[in-house]
Amino acid sequence: MERCDFLVIGGGIAGLSCAARLAAHGRVVVLEAESAPGYHASGRSVAVAHFGLGERLVRTLTALSLPALAEHGTRHPALHIASSAQLEALDALEDTHRQFGCDYARISGAEARALLPVLKSEACAAALVDHGALKLDTHAMLQAHMAALRAAGSTVVTGARVSAIAHDGASWRVEASGETYAAPLLINAAGAWADDIARLAGVSLIGIEPRRRTVISFAALPDEDVREWPFTKTVGEGFYLLPEGAGQLLASSMDQTPSQPCDAAPEELDIAIAADRVEQATTLPIRRIAHSWAGLRSFAPDELPVIGHAAGAPGFVWVAGQGGAGFQTAPALSRIAESAVLGLPFPADCAAADLAPEQFAPARLGA
Ligand SMILES: Cc1cc2nc3c(=O)[nH]c(=O)nc-3n(C[C@H](O)[C@H](O)[C@H](O)COP(=O)(O)OP(=O)(O)OC[C@H]3O[C@@H](n4cnc5c(N)ncnc54)[C@H](O)[C@@H]3O)c2cc1C
């Protein structure tokens, strides 16, 4: 049996960012079921940090994370477009950008078309351009956490699928692919499987809902270098579009279909809807989908992250429910997780931004 100070289940951005912090306080073992970290949601993100999604709490976490994200991100403008029916939503988003001190401008439809020349005029009456948005190198983020862990003498075990969890009165004992691990503190960062891990441990479930999102990739116009095109997103229902290299674009209809935890794959209908939304709003002809993928974004019932000790299960800590913002909030969330696991004071910058541990605690959801 391998003993350590902290066992982290899940080698995605949530588990690795938290584990890298805990490695400064003791030996961590991260157990990852797949043959490589980041195989599920964390390897399928479109890797943008912006203020166009989530509740105020998620945006606050994003603002607190931006300085650290800059290490693995490059500035890439986010263009939030609104049709004439979506102007109220654009006003609300402008308020958000103002409150968070973003480097943004409100622009006309014509100015938006200067940034994204393929945009049809009826698709954009007005827009916001956020010059502070970041394109993230998510692979580099995961690798940096792995390197920090290893440098501190901690380990990531891949191919370690947790199948049994029991508490022996002092430690959590975890069975994973024929090995047994034990630690007094067990961190549940299993993404879409977070409730399954709680069930194995006999801990009350949160009601984490995985939701499938589909991304398509297709060729841009011939001879057009699209690298400078902004990340473009409708303020309400619609689509997003972003460059993937010089001649390729990615798009999503921002689908969020409830799913069982699984190795998510794109469905034909979702691919077709994404392509149709792009063709409706732009002059881009999508002749062939070069490739597509889907991933699961996992949400608690109130769509906010869950960080904290489970009631009645000493040492079982939730780090789950990052939804569609797991990368852009990871620097702040991992510090909140570190303080929750160790019982340290809540991070001062988070408290100063009017966040409190109770907003993250599973107790708010009765768990
Ligand atoms: C299409 C798409 C686009 C996105 N775009 C963005 C974006 O632009 N910006 C952003 O910030 N976020 C984005 N996200 C969200 C982001 O990817 C997630 O919030 C984040 O990856 C969640 O990380 P995680 O570590 O919780 O989950 P995961 O990466 O899924 O990690 C959980 C891990 O737990 C492991 N596991 C599960 N069960 C077990 C078990 N029994 N034993 C051992 N290991 C187990 C899994 O194998 C998995 O590797 C996007 C997501 C998708 C799907």
Q: Is the pLDDT of residue 2 over 90?
A: yes
Position 138 scores a pLDDT of 98
| Superfamily covering domain 77-132+209-299 | D-Amino Acid Oxidase, subunit A, domain 2 (3.30.9.10)
Question: pLDDT tens across 42-55, in order?
Answer: 999 999 999 999 99
Question: pLDDT tens across 239-280, in order?
Answer: 999 999 999 999 999 999 999 999 999 999 999 999 999 999
Ligand 1 atom 33: the closest Cα is on which residue? 10
Token couple for 25: 């306080």
Position 306 scores a pLDDT of 98
- Residue extent(s) of CATH 3.30.9.10 domains in the chain: 77-132+209-299
Q: What share of the chain is helix, strand, coil (3-state, %, to 5)?
A: 35, 30, 40
- When pLDDT is averaged across residues 97-116 and rounded to a whole number, the result is 98
Query: What is the rounded average pLDDT for all residues in the chain?
Result: 97
State how beta strands 104-108 and 162-167 pair. unpaired
For the CA of 323, the closest atom of ligand 1 is 19
* Edge-first strand listing for the sheet containing 73-75: 48-49, 134-136, 73-75
For the CA of 294, the closest atom of ligand 1 is 1
Task: Give the end-to-end CA distance of the chain in Å, rounded to a whole number.
Answer: 30
Q: Which ranges constitute the DSSP H helices of the chain?
A: 13-22, 56-69, 87-99, 109-115, 138-151, 194-201, 268-281, 330-342, 348-352, 357-360
What does R_g of the chain's alpha carbons equal in angstroms? Answer: 21
The H-or-E segment that residue 182 falls in is strand 179-183
Ligand 1 mean position, distance from CA 245 (Å): 23
Phi–psi pair at 152, nearest 5 degrees? -90, 5
Position 223 scores a pLDDT of 87
Q: Maximum CA pair distance of the chain?
A: 66
Position 336 scores a pLDDT of 98
Residues enclosing ligand 1, CB less than 6 A? 9-15, 31-34, 39-42, 44-48, 160-162, 189-193, 213, 215, 295, 297, 322-328
Question: pLDDT tens across 157-208, in order?
Answer: 999 999 999 999 999 999 999 999 999 999 999 999 999 999 999 999 999 9
Position 71 scores a pLDDT of 97
Pocket test for ligand 1, best of 297, 304, 307, 318 (most atoms within 8 A of CB): 297
- Residue extent(s) of CATH 3.50.50.60 domains in the chain: 2-42+138-208+302-365
Position 222 scores a pLDDT of 87
Token couple for 23: 């490695």
For the CA of 31, the closest atom of ligand 1 is 43
Pocket test for ligand 1, best of 30, 39, 44, 45 (most atoms within 8 A of CB): 45
Question: pLDDT tens across 214-223, in order?
Answer: 999 999 988 8
Ligand 1 mean position, distance from CA 11 (Å): 9
- When pLDDT is averaged across residues 277-286 and rounded to a whole number, the result is 97
Percent of the chain with pLDDT over 70: 100
For the CA of 14, the closest atom of ligand 1 is 25
Ligand 1 mean position, distance from CA 192 (Å): 7
Position 326 scores a pLDDT of 98
Position 140 scores a pLDDT of 98
Percent of the chain with pLDDT over 90: 98
Give the residue from 18, 4, 329 showing the smallest Cα distance to 188.
Answer: 18
| Superfamily covering domain 2-42+138-208+302-365 | FAD/NAD(P)-binding domain (3.50.50.60)
Question: How many CB atoms are located within 10 Å of the residue 329 CB?
Answer: 29
Q: Is the pLDDT of residue 147 over 90?
A: yes
Position 246 scores a pLDDT of 93
Q: Do the beta carbons of residue 209 and residue 222 sit within 8 Å?
A: no
Ligand 1 mean position, distance from CA 145 (Å): 15
